Amino acid sequence: KAGVTQTPRYLIKTRGQQVTLSCSPISGHRSVSWYQQTPGQGLQFLFEYFSETQRNKGNFPGRFSGRQFSNSRSEMNVSTLELGDSALYLCASSLLAGDQNEQFFGPGTRLTVL
Amino acid sequence: GDSVTQMEGPVTLSEEAFLTINCTYTATGYPSLFWYVQYPGEGLQLLLKATKADDKGSNKGFEATYRKETTSFHLEKGSVQVSDSAVYFCALRSSGGGADGLTFGKGTHLIIQP
């Protein structure tokens, strides 16, 4: 079974631009979560989607948004990029939402903001 | 809010040494607990999990026991190998409605020398 895939793997943008990252979950998984990983803040939860609805959201500004499509694929968007948005963005999928459901992580998208 | 504390390292050991990485947590309710491992350039892989007090998670020679009385979930391995070199993350997810995704510790960089 194919794992979680994320595209693109690497991205370079400049301040003020916007960016869209894509995540395809494992086949049959309906929940997708997004995390930001930086050296300073570590891994932080962005949001979770289940059946096309945002279920939970972390403590990030409104510039960070996401959506999920009917095939469970998900995108996250960051508008008006700032230098501090440079990070590894990880997507994770699970069969269902909820605390006991194992999350499978993709390889991440490395975003560099110049 | 929820939080996870773990030693950040780097922790350097010789091959075949005994490994302990401490992890303590603060959470409301009864969280599920996880250890994830991240190899260079890759996403996170679930190493083991425990969903209730006194549960022991185990995988690939690694073990951790959910200790509710000490709010701990220490990772242990009896004999480490060079291939165990990676970053290890302790994480929790609270149960009940409004769960905010996984809460991670800062990660422990483990280096095993031959």
Q: Which residues of A touch B (CB under 8 A)?
A: 4, 33, 35, 42-48, 56, 58, 90, 92, 98-100, 102-108
The answer to whether residues B26 and B33 touch, using CB atoms and an 8 Å cutoff, is no
A106: helix, coil or strand? coil
- Give the CA radius of gyration of chain A: 13
The tens place of each residue's pLDDT in chain B, 114 residues long, gives: 889 999 888 999 999 999 999 999 999 878 999 999 999 888 899 999 999 999 999 999 999 999 999 999 999 999 999 999 999 999 998 865 555 688 999 999 999 999
Per-residue pLDDT, A8: 97
B8 touches B74 (CB < 8 A): no
What does DSSP assign to residue B28?
S
Ranges of residues in chain A whose predicted pLDDT is under 50: none
Q: What span, in angstroms and rounded, lies between the C-alpha atoms of B114 and B104?
A: 29
Mutate which of B39, B90, B100 to disrupt the A interface (most A C-beta within 10 Å)? B100
User: What pLDDT is recorded for position A2?
Assistant: 79
Chain B interface residues (partner A, CB cutoff 8 A): 31-32, 36, 41-46, 49, 51, 89, 91, 93-96, 98-107
In tens, the pLDDT along A79-96 reads 999 999 999 999 999 987
Token digits of residue A112: 């560099």
One-letter amino acid for residue B72 of the chain: S
